[in-house]
């Protein structure tokens, strides 16, 4: 999913220096071919997080007006994604926006419409789709297929976010993976609440999701009530199972039979966020319209909205 980066160094802007924004800052600092030159943040610690020559502003609109950026990364609460992404597209900037792309289907439709109209570059950081394990899983699925079923368990203790429903926080990851692997939107999407519990930092929740792709069903459990991180995505194929476990060093295993413990599959180097920024840089260097991620992001938001209505 990554390409070789040409010699020109790109100037990138970042909106947001929260937990994930700081991950972007560290990642960009460790990569060749790109540098962080502008940051929009009201975090008082921002100056200590970025290179000394990085210009810091407390107004994200300053980045849209800047004439020296090649692209902008949006790492803010999801309620702000649509406005910021649309402003970046209008300013002619390539965009890498965190998931979920928006918090409503109407906003997602506006983003895709603007991207098409402007021949824009809009990537969405569905982070697992940029992992080396996912890249290989999709290739191996073609070898050992056809795909018959999907099962997934994802969650942790928290995070308990007041600004993002748990379904949209954890669900966007697994739904994006299922849709990317199958290659289309589900025909049906239903959700069931397993548990809701008040906890010290907010409200914990567990949900069961089922996506129907005709002859393929994806059964998913997501939760913020696990004692430790769970991340297991299993693609059941005619020729075996591909098991992606993000909690292990050997993240991808191939199981030929149910009793088979699984053989680790060799993967390329690079952490998912590195690969995401590299893919963003490569898209900027190509200089061609690239909004496949935005179309997928739109479809993910559509499924999430459908599941939210089903829960209500």
DSSP assignment of 48-85 equals HHS-TT-EEES-THHHHH-SS-SEEEE-S-GGGHHHHH
Question: Is the same domain home to 242 and 281?
Answer: no
How far apart CA 13 and CA 57 sit, in angstroms, is 11
Question: Is the same domain home to 191 and 278?
Answer: no
Question: Is the same domain home to 37 and 116?
Answer: yes
pLDDT at site 113: 98
Q: In which band, very low, low, confident or very high, does the pLDDT at 5 lie, cut at 50, 70 and 90? A: very low
Instruction: Decide if pLDDT at 3 tops 60.
Output: no
First and final C-alpha spacing in the chain: 37
Report the number of distinct structural domains present in the chain: 2
Do residues 234 and 251 touch, judged by C-beta distance below 8 A?
A: no
What's the alpha-carbon Rg for the chain, to the nearest Å?
A: 19
pLDDT at site 115: 98
Question: Is the same domain home to 197 and 173?
Answer: yes
Report, as an integer, the average pLDDT of 208-214: 98
Quickly count: other Cβ atoms within 10 Å of residue 62's Cβ.
Answer: 15
Query: Residue 52 falls within a domain, yes or no?
Result: yes
Query: Residue 1 falls within a domain, yes or no?
Result: no
Question: Is the same domain home to 166 and 204?
Answer: yes
Query: pTM of the prediction?
Result: 0.95
Q: Can you tell me which residue has the tokens 């297991």?
A: 232
Quickly count: other Cβ atoms within 10 Å of residue 20's Cβ.
Answer: 16
pLDDT at site 7: 67
CA 115 to chain centre: 18
- Domain ranges, residue 46: 10-126+272-293
How far apart CA 167 and CA 191 sit, in angstroms, is 10
Question: Is the same domain home to 27 and 60?
Answer: yes
Query: Residue 56 falls within a domain, yes or no?
Result: yes
Do residues 254 and 187 touch, judged by C-beta distance below 8 A?
A: no
Q: Residue 5: which residues within 8 A CB-CB, separation 6 or more? A: 32, 33, 34, 278, 281, 282, 285
Whether residue 137 has a cis bond before it, omega within 30° of 0: no
> Domain holding 74: CATH number?
3.40.50.720
Question: Is the same domain home to 142 and 119?
Answer: no
pLDDT at site 264: 96
pLDDT at site 275: 98
* pLDDT tens-digit map of 173-194: 999 999 999 999 999 999 999 9
Residue 224 region by backbone torsions, left for phi larger than 0, else alpha for psi between -120 and 50, else beta:
alpha
Query: Residue 204 falls within a domain, yes or no?
Result: yes
Question: Is the same domain home to 38 and 91?
Answer: yes
* pLDDT tens-digit map of 262-304: 999 999 999 999 999 999 999 999 999 999 999 999 999 999 9
* pLDDT tens-digit map of 23-67: 999 999 999 999 999 999 998 899 999 999 999 999 999 999 999
Mean pLDDT of the chain: 95
| Residue (of 120, 128, 247, 145) closest to 179 by Cα position | 128
SS3 at position 231: strand
How far apart CA 60 and CA 143 sit, in angstroms, is 46
Query: Residue 298 falls within a domain, yes or no?
Result: no
* pLDDT tens-digit map of 115-136: 999 999 999 999 999 999 999 9
Query: Residue 57 falls within a domain, yes or no?
Result: yes
Residue 76 region by backbone torsions, left for phi larger than 0, else alpha for psi between -120 and 50, else beta:
beta
Question: Is the same domain home to 257 and 134?
Answer: yes
Query: Residue 66 falls within a domain, yes or no?
Result: yes
Share of the chain above pLDDT 90, in %: 92
Q: 75-89, 135-149, 164-178, 246-260: lowest mean pLDDT where?
A: 246-260
């Amino acid at each position: 999913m990554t390409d070789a980066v040409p010699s020109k160094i790109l100037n990138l802007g970042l909106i947001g220096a929260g937990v994930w924004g700081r991950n972007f800052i560290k990642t960009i600092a460790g990569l060749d071919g790109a540098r962080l030159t502008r940051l929009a943040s009201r975090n008082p610690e921002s100056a200590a997080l970025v290179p000394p020559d990085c210009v810091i502003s407390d107004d994200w609109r300053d980045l849209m007006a800047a004439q020296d950026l090649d692209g902008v990364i949006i790492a803010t609460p999801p309620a702000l994604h649509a406005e910021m992404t649309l402003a970046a597209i209008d300013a002619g900037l390539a965009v890498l926006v965190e998931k979920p792309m928006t918090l409503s289907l109407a906003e997602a439709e506006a983003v895709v419409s603007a991207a098409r109209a402007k021949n824009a570059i809009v990537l969405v950081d569905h982070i697992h789709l940029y992992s080396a394990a996912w890249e290989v899983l999709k290739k191996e699925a073609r070898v050992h297929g056809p795909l018959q079923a999907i099962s997934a368990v994802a969650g942790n203790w928290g995070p308990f976010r007041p600004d993002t429903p748990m379904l949209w926080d954890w669900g966007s990851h697994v739904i994006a993976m299922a849709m990317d692997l199958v290659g289309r939107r589900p025909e049906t999407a239903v959700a069931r609440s397993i548990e809701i519990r008040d906890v010290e930092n907010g409200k914990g929740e567990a949900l069961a999701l089922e996506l129907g792709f005709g002859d393929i069903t994806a059964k998913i459990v997501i939760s913020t009530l696990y004692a430790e991180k769970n991340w297991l995505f299993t693609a059941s194929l005619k020729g075996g199972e591909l098991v992606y476990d993000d909690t292990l060093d050997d993240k991808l295993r191939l199981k030929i039979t149910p009793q088979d413990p699984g053989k680790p599959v060799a993967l390329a180097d690079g952490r998912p966020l590195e690969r995401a920024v590299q893919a963003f840089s490569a898209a900027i260097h190509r200089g061609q319209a690239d909004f496949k991620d935005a179309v997928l992001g739109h479809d993910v938001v559509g499924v999430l909205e459908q599941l939210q209505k089903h829960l209500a």
